Amino acid sequence: MLPIQRSAVARRASAALTLVLVLGLSACGTLRDAATGMSTLGGLIKPYKIDVVQGNVITKEQVSALKTGMTRVQTRDVLGTPLLQSVFHANRWDYVFTYRRGGSSEAEQTRKLTVFFEGNNLVRVEADDMPTESEFVASLVVRPVTGKERVMEASEASLKAFDESNRKGAPQATPEPASAPAAAPANSYPPLESATGAAR
């Protein structure tokens, strides 16, 4: 009678443990980050968020290279292909750039530049305050590299040690005796044309 009671107690305990685990795991799904709405498992695990760069990066140097009277092709060579080129506004090109840092509470950066044409020539430029190229590169997030930096070049001492370890571990190869060159195989294929067909 005693072994039967122990197995019933064990079954009840395992059922209770299963119930606690199911409730615990379902509760993890409700712990969400308020900003993104993504599950963070109570703040222990946070999803990786990438930096999002969209549109054309226009720098101060590119804006200063624009001159009135430039053709559309010359303008495209300086700024690149416009992000917005409307059929209804054929004489206007819009360049828009947005940058959002992943995992940051900073607001999204948005910059706009619009160029206006008369016929084929540039007549006017409207632009936000654009950063210089060095300012833009400095604004990008550089994540610190974790761990020790690996050396990607072998020194003379390490190459010498590598050669010595290969000489010690490799078995000595015995030279094979020089053999006579193999004779060419005899032609055992039938002729492509019969002798009677060649005579015709």
Name beta bridge partners: 98: 54, 110
- Residue 23 has phi, psi (to 5 degrees) of -65, -40
| Whole-number pLDDT of residue 180 | 60
As separate numbers, helices (DSSP H) first and strands (DSSP E) second, the chain gives: 6, 4
Nearest-CA neighbor of 82 among 56, 64, 63?
56
Residue 132 has what pLDDT? 87
Sign of CA dihedral 102, 107, 111, 112: positive
User: What tokens were used for 30?
Assistant: 């409700």
Beta bridge partners of 39: 32
Q: Distance (Å, rounded) from C-alpha 110 to C-alpha 101?
A: 12
Query: Which residues, listed in sequence order, are joined to residue 118 by a DSSP beta bridge?
Result: 121
pLDDT at position 33 is 55
- Distance between CA 99 and CA 110 in Å, rounded? 7
Which residue in 106, 109, 114 sits closest to 131, CA to CA? 109
Q: How far apart are the first and last CA of the chain?
A: 107
| pLDDT for position 169 | 66
pLDDT in tens, the chain (200 residues): 445 556 777 888 888 888 887 777 666 555 555 555 555 555 666 677 777 878 888 889 999 999 999 999 999 999 988 877 777 888 899 998 888 877 666 777 888 999 999 999 999 999 888 888 888 877 775 655 566 667 778 888 988 988 888 887 666 655 566 666 666 666 677 777 766 655 55
* pLDDT for the residue 177: 62
Q: What is the pLDDT of residue 86?
A: 77
Domains and their CATH numbers in the chain: 1-47 (no CATH), 52-139 (3.30.1450)
Q: Give the per-residue pLDDT at 124.
A: 92
Q: Tell me the C-alpha distance between 138 and 161, whole Å.
A: 42
